[in-house]
C-alpha cells in the first residue's frame, strides 16, 4: 500500500485498540486514562524543530488525524505517544502525543496587534485596578487628543475604570497605570502565556512545556 493511501486509511481509522485482554485492559485503564479517552480527546502537542512549543497560549495542538498524517508525510517526528493505538488493515501504531517539526519555523519577531494579544500582554487584568472582569481596552491618550490605536497607547481596562477615566489622560483622571503600554515581542507574549496553562495537560507534555523555564535559586 502506498504512503498516500496508507495516510488516507489511517486518517479515517476510528478503531482504537489495546492489544491486551479485556481484563488486563480494564485493570490498566485504572492507571492509564489514555485507554478510556475518546480519540478526539487525544491531540498532539506540536514542537518546533528545536523542541520548543510552537505556541504556549494558545497551546500548539493538532488533532490526532492531522498529527498522524504529518508523520506519514515525513513532516514531523514522534517524540511521545499515548497508550492508545490506531490501526489500518496493514499497520498499527500508537497515537502520537508529542511531535516535532522536521523543518524549523522561524517565529515572527512581533505578534499581531489583536484584542487577545493585548489582553495577554496585560495578563488579562485591568491596568488601573487589577480586576480581571469586564475587560475592554482603553486609549491612554484619548483619540480626541490625538491618541493612536497602537500597542504603545492601548491598555486593558475594566468597564468601570474605562468609564471613570472617560476622555481624559490618566494624569487628568488621577488614575495610575500599573504598566505603561508597550509593543511586546513574540517571545515576550509566549513567555507570558506560560502563566496561563490550558485546563488539560497530558503527562507526556509537561517536560516539553517547561524544560527551558529559568530555575529559581
Residue 197 and residue 92 share a domain = yes
Would you write out the chain's pLDDT as a tens digit for each of its 217 residues?
444 434 443 444 444 444 445 555 444 444 456 555 677 888 999 999 999 888 877 788 999 999 999 999 999 999 999 988 888 888 889 999 999 999 999 888 998 898 888 998 999 999 999 999 999 999 999 999 999 999 999 999 999 999 999 999 999 999 999 999 999 998 898 888 877 766 555 565 666 555 444 434 3
Q: Range of 202's domain?
A: 3-108+192-210
185 lies in some domain: no
Residue 100 and residue 134 share a domain = no
Q: Cβ neighbours of residue 176 under 8 Å, at least 6 residues apart?
A: 128, 170
pLDDT in tens, 2-15: 444 344 434 444 44
Alpha helices in 41-196 (DSSP H): 64-72, 115-121, 159-165, 170-173, 186-193
Total domains in the chain come to 2
Q: How many Cβ atoms sit within 10 Å of the Cβ of residue 111?
A: 21
d(CA 165, CA 139): 10
Q: Are 49 and 103 in contact (CB under 8 A)?
A: yes
Residue 119 and residue 104 share a domain = no
Query: Which of these, 47, 44, 25, lies nearest to 36 by C-alpha position?
Result: 25
pLDDT at 90: 85
Residue 53 and residue 29 share a domain = yes
pLDDT at 169: 96
Phi, psi torsion values for 151, nearest 5 degrees: -55, -40
Q: How many Cβ atoms sit within 10 Å of the Cβ of residue 204?
A: 18
pLDDT at 105: 93
Residue 94 and residue 126 share a domain = no
39 lies in some domain: yes
Return the C-alpha cell found at 161.
475604570
215 lies in some domain: no
Residue 97 and residue 14 share a domain = yes
Residue 83 and residue 25 share a domain = yes
pLDDT at 83: 87
Residue 75 and residue 59 share a domain = yes
179 lies in some domain: no
pLDDT at 99: 97
182 lies in some domain: no
Query: Which of these, 4, 2, 50, lies nearest to 187 by C-alpha position?
Result: 50
Q: Are 147 and 139 in contact (CB under 8 A)?
A: yes
217 lies in some domain: no
Residue 197 and residue 91 share a domain = yes
180 lies in some domain: no
Residue 131 and residue 65 share a domain = no
Residue 97 and residue 37 share a domain = yes
Residue 160 and residue 70 share a domain = no
Provide the CATH number for the domain around residue 126.
1.10.30.50
82 lies in some domain: yes
pTM comes to 0.61
Amino acid at each position: 500500500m502506498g504512503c498516500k493511501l496508507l495516510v488516507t486509511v489511517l486518517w479515517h481509522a476510528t478503531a482504537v485498540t489495546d492489544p491486551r485482554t479485556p481484563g488486563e485492559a480494564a485493570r490498566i485503564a485504572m492507571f492509564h486514562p489514555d485507554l478510556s479517552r475518546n480519540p478526539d480527546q487525544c491531540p498532539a502537542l506540536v514542537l518546533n524543530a528545536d523542541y520548543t512549543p510552537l505556541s504556549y497560549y494558545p497551546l500548539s495542538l493538532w488533532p490526532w488525524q492531522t498529527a498522524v498524517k504529518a508523520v506519514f508525510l515525513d513532516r514531523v517526528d514522534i517524540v511521545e505517544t499515548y497508550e492508545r493505538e490506531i490501526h489500518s488493515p496493514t499497520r498499527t501504531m500508537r497515537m502520537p502525543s508529542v511531535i516535532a517539526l522536521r523543518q524549523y519555523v522561524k517565529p515572527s519577531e512581533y505578534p499581531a496587534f489583536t484584542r487577545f494579544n493585548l489582553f495577554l500582554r496585560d495578563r488579562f487584568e485591568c491596568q488601573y485596578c487589577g480586576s480581571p472582569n469586564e475587560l475592554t481596552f482603553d486609549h491612554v491618550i484619548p483619540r480626541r487628543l490625538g491618541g493612536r490605536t497602537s500597542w504603545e497607547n492601548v491598555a486593558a481596562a475594566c468597564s468601570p475604570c474605562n468609564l471613570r477615566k472617560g476622555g481624559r489622560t490618566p494624569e487628568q483622571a488621577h488614575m495610575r497605570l500599573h504598566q505603561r503600554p508597550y509593543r511586546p515581542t513574540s517571545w515576550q507574549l509566549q513567555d507570558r502565556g506560560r502563566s496561563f496553562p490550558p485546563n488539560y495537560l497530558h503527562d507526556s507534555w509537561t517536560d516539553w512545556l517547561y524544560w527551558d523555564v529559568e530555575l529559581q535559586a
